[in-house]
Amino acid sequence: MSDPKVEKEAGPAEPAKETTPEPEKRKREYKDFGEEDDKPTHAKVDMSQIQLKAEDLYDKEKVDLETIVVDDVFKLLQCDENGLTDEEATRRLELFGPNKLESEEQNPFFQFLSFMWNPLSWVMEAAALVAIALSNGEHRPPDWQDFVGIVTLLLINSGIGFYEERNAGNAVKALMDSLAPKAKVKRAGNWREVESSLLVPGDMISFKIGDIVPADCRLTEAINVSIDQAALTGESLPQGKKTGDQCFSGSTCKQGEAEGVVISTGPNTFFGRAANLVGQDDDTTGHLQKILAQIGSFCLVVIGIFVLAEIFCLYAGFRYTYRRGLDNILVLLIGGIPIAMPTVLSVTLAVGAQQLAKYKAIVTRITAIEELAAVTILCSDKTGTLTTNKLTIDRDTIRTYGPFSGEDVVLLAAYASRTENQDAIDTCVVGAIGDPSRARAGIKLLDFKPFNPVDKRTEITYLEESSGKLKRVTKGMTGIIIELCTRNKTDDIENRLEADVIEFAQRGLRALAVAYEEVDGTDPEGEGNGFELIGLLAIYDPPREDTKQTIDDAIGLGVKVKMVTGDQLAIAKETGRRLGLGDHMYPAKVLKDGPEPGSRFRNLDEMILDADGFAGVFPEHKYEIVKRLQALGHLCAMTGDGANDAPALSRANVGIAVEGATDAARSAGDIVLTEPGLSTIVHAIRGSRIIFQRMRNYAIYACAVTIRIVVCFAILAFAFKFDFPPFMVLIIALLNDGTIMTLSVDRVLPSNTPDSWDLAEIFAYAVAYGLYLTISTVALVAIIIRTSWFYDKFGVTLSGGAHQAIDHNDHQLHTIVYLQVAIISQALIFITRSHGFFFMERPSFALMGAFCIAQLISSIIAAYGNWGFTQVEAISGGWIGIVWVWDIIWFFPLDLIKFAMKATIIKSLRERHNAALAKEVKETGVPMTRTTSRAASIHESLYSNRVSFIRRAARKVGFGQKISMKPEELQRFSSIQAARTGSVLARHPSRPS
């Protein structure tokens, strides 16, 4: 005990100050990661003059409710620590609105009707009207058979779309539900409990451990407060809060109790901004809907041209009667439009969603599957997504300064940790030793001092049972621990420690120092022989086990991965290095300031594309990153787990909520993972590309059939005055679409690069196939009408024993044409589904079986279908055999047409595309990825218009509710808070002027 006394006398005995220029030992700060010298500021305006203009309040140089001193907050919000009066609170409630989020409710009836408001549906509806209303003439009844068939298909299509949309995630509702329902507030000097929706700016509130913070506030009193805001900001650790700090609405108090003054409520809070961003994305037209619109428009143009041609030719040229011409037009309308396209694609996607569920991925918006296949960039949140969101000791970076090994240091640190009621640090330290019981094995606990904000360390005094000695271990903040270490506090140790702490901080690791001493005697409160620094532990949020492999797999599939996190830059870089993502990370401020002058980036877009990730981002930053990447033509997927990810999840083409995500994230996401990690995403990408191939095959088929039906029957009408019955076209469409439904389970191979809808290629293939099939039918009809060749060779006859079709509208000729068109049109799917020869890629049993059944039905109809109402008559087995052989002969050259198209027109289209891309890169320096969702077009506006039209109609008849949240400029959140709160109070002051 004498040594410490000698040391105490040594200080004042030194007279050296007077003789030398003071080589005094510098004060070491050991500034750990995350420590910042944030000092409160004063508003740079005269706070006695509250009449501020809104533009002043937007200026953070003048006032910022986040950082100005609390006294200025009280002045600006015209309140004090006794709280508001009931009258003032009521007045402010009218000014600022309730402290909750509101969303528009859409009437289900109008929502169902909205699916009948698009170009494809318009043509279906027009055909139905023509069949039931306009065709009622010339002493003939309405064409009710066609009418019933068309309306049935229309209702099925609308029903599937309605079901899908009603089951989509309601992101705003989930955010609203997670707001605290009750709040403790001081009104007129008295504390009371009220609904959190009644809080207003200027209210005094209090909360304690376990409570949800009910509104954004500045703390006026804080006792050992720790706030978990990971779900809001993405920060891994609960944040310690002191007087003057801001707490966010929706965060959870993990420790202590506090009082604060409310600075913003409802949509103006940090939490409300997230909900607002989710709700403000008014792009109600999905990517698949845009593709459908363009394919539909292609079909409409083809149909429109030939309908006009028929009107002029048949009526003006051939002087057709009204009803006869109308029947020909109906054939084009019914047969030309891909009536069941939305239904076929919806079923394909729904089956795909069931297949993805096997990989523990729940699809909440089935059209997202198609967009996932085309995704080129995956923006991933870090905390809880790439990482486990569970703090861990990094054993590879443990530093030791004494005789103890790294494992000994971890074990001693575990001794100095709680085993019950643990905070995040104690949990990770005890978890590092594997078996938590080892934290008390072989020792007898005599005294324990838990962590507190003043001492910033924990301490245990224990009896080592094996030796019978009393020992003491402490762990905590580096600067505090080293000051206790009297035994080995040398310049060498301090230099090493300082260097290690700096290295940890640069790598985003939090440092935890551990010291040890022995205690003489048996008194657990006795003085020890002096602490000795024995080690420094690095604490970090580790990547998930499968994350690195998942990222490598994603890159192998042509998907670039970017990290977008609310955590600090150093942490983001370290995580990026560990995952192989790279460390070209930038702070969020570059999104506002742009690249620095003289940097290698010419503009912000180029910087965003090059970056491996961004750190310190707020919800609007994530949203802005996704929006900018989409503006460059990329389809983006965004993963996340917290409420702070919800806006970007909603904006992204595919939002992916990982396992353990909050309700807000799950509702905003399109795909919800139910297993930890991201490996499911790779399965989902591969699965979505298989589904995409099925849809692309169908799109080519549908467009080809449109051209085949429209051009074929128009030419037959022009050349031979051939009037094909409309009902038989409907039968062809029904059988075709029933067979094509089985494409949803067809065998296809996924591509190794992101898929995209190259509509020029699809239309080129469709035109080639359609015209070829048209020739096959026209040639058959021409031979039957102009010659008796089939009678001469095979002895087959037509109605009344005719050797050739003298009557161009012979009922048996109608049946022959029906069978020929039905067989070869449906067989076309085997050509469009294969990349090589059709027989080299085996179809699924379901597709082959459905094709055989459909052709059996078609052959039976041809053999026995004496339907006078639709002008068809059964044909002989000889004619059925002739038609089958005819179609088989014409079928085989289709593969040659496919190869010729690839070698000529398709090759030319791709070369032009690549040349245009290279030119754009050369001019702008930014590699652009052209996708069909890059810009709005007339086709897309027709589809998005259906929603706005129905909304207007709903409001006019009183079904709609008023939207309470308006889109704002994407500015820094605190400035919006200041503007909303201060400017309203300025216009409505409570004090007399």
Report the catalytic residues: 381
Position 755: which residue type? D
**Dihedral of the CA atoms 342, 343, 345, 351 (nearest 10)?**
150
638 touches 655 (CB < 8 A): yes
In the numeric block, the tokens 């940890």 are attached to 504
Position 814: which residue type? H
Q: Does the CA dihedral 919-923-925-926 come out positive or negative?
A: negative
719 touches 778 (CB < 8 A): yes
* Cα→Cα distances 369→375, 547, 657, Å: 10, 22, 14
**What is the rounded CA–CA span in Å between residue 93 and residue 176?**
18
Position 656: which residue type? I
The first and second tokens of residue 815, run together, are 């049946």
H/E element holding 927?
none
Q: Exposed, middle or buried: residue 135 (CB in 10 Å: 0-12, 13-18, 19+)? A: buried
Helices (H), 787-810: 789-794
DSSP 473-540: EEEE-HHHHHHH--SS--HHHHHHHHHHHHHHHHTTPEEEEEEEEEE-SS-TTS-BS--EEEEEEEEE
**What is the rounded CA–CA span in Å between residue 886 and residue 891?**
9
CB atoms within 10 A of CB 81: 13
Give first-to-last CA distance, the chain, whole Å: 70
Helices (H), 189-249: 230-233
Q: At 212, is the secondary structure helix, strand, or coil?
A: strand
665 touches 408 (CB < 8 A): no
Provide Rg for the chain, Cα atoms: 37
Half-sphere exposure of 21 (CA within 13 A, CB side): 0
In the numeric block, the tokens 């026995």 are attached to 864
CB atoms within 10 A of CB 277: 25
